[in-house]
Amino acid sequence: MTQPVAASVALDGGVRTADLAAGQEPVFAPSRGFWGHVGHRLVRDPVAMAAGAVILLVILVAVLSPWITPMDPYKGSMLRRLRPLGDATYWLGSDELGRDMMSRLMLGARLSLFIGVTPVLIAFVIGSALGILAGYVGGWTNTILMRTIDVFFAFPSVLLAIALSGALGAGIFNSIVSLTCVFVPQIARVAESVTTGIRRRDYIDAAKLSGASALTIMRVQVLGNVIGPIFVYATSLISVSMILASGLSFLGLGVRPPEPEWGLMLNTLRTAIYVNPAVAALPGLCIFIVSISFNLFSDGLRNAMEVRQ
């Protein structure tokens, strides 16, 4: 009598098991698909997962900070100013006004993340729309949009952000507007480049022949194929956005006192660097850790999305 034989068949990038028994049809396990492979490769990247864990931890601290801070981050005491690290009351020391550094760092994560992530999200939406429109339509539309965007590339990002914030005035909203204006041209340029690369593909021509409108083609066929590279590039800009936002606050063009924000805390603690340098460096250390975490996670996401290569 013939015995059932178990065979493994590789198909569509996944491993499917078929029971080839007499009178039995092969039964295949479902494949993952593109995004399934991206997630599978991403979770197997220890560096990206470690960076993602740091980002998730910072987000949780930022969200829960109003309820988990050990002390009032706004209440100070001139008798307890500039306490060192490891103090019995202030574990991470105190600032120049005697306020608990741990509480202010935890609460400051909210504004630092908000000002760092929000401009990139807004620029991602606006820049993607402009880039896809310019890349798909082409012609004079592409020329006008891209040459206008090229004007912003004539200025370094830091100087452009400072100039716009200086013209608009200090404040959280104005900082977000100025940083958004910095990142929209960069994302639009990437979106236009990848859209131009797929504009002549067969499935785009097939959609045109089927009678689909240009808006429908851009929304369905084009957007679905270019959103990945644009999103990966946008995630890499979050670290730059956080550094620029902290720089604006350091220069007095961002968050205003007494709100805790890492860049503003660096500014207020700069005079204490010779008295208590460890405490004065804590906000900068937080900016560095979160920025490098976003960079590493973005690199891991980009590597995971290169499945087809």
CATH superfamily, region 45-304: MetI-like (1.10.3720.10)
pTM recorded for the entire structure? 0.84
Q: Measure CA of the first residue to CA of the last residue in the chain; give whole Å.
A: 45
Structure tokens at 169: 């005035």
Which residue shows structure tokens 């800009």?
Answer: 237
Is 57 in a helix, a strand, or coil? Answer: helix
Contact residues for 224 (Cβ-Cβ < 8 A; gap 6+): none
Number of H helices, E strands in the chain: 12, 2
pLDDT in tens, the chain (309 residues): 444 444 434 344 444 444 444 444 444 445 566 677 778 888 888 999 999 999 999 999 999 999 999 999 999 888 888 898 988 889 999 998 999 999 999 999 999 999 999 999 999 999 999 999 999 988 898 899 999 998 888 888 889 999 999 898 888 999 999 999 999 999 999 999 999 988 888 888 888 888 888 888 888 888 888 888 899 899 999 999 999 999 999 988 888 888 899 999 999 998 888 888 899 999 999 999 999 999 999 999 888 887 554
Q: Can you give the residue ranges of every domain in the chain?
A: 1-31, 45-304
Structure tokens at 193: 């480049």
Proportion of the chain in helix, strand, coil states, percent, rounded to 5: 70, 5, 25
pLDDT at 309: 44
Contact residues for 204 (Cβ-Cβ < 8 A; gap 6+): 198, 217, 221, 222
pLDDT at 27: 44
| H-helix or E-strand spanning residue 242 | helix 223-250
Assign residue 86 a region (left: φ > 0; alpha: ψ between -120 and 50; beta: otherwise): left
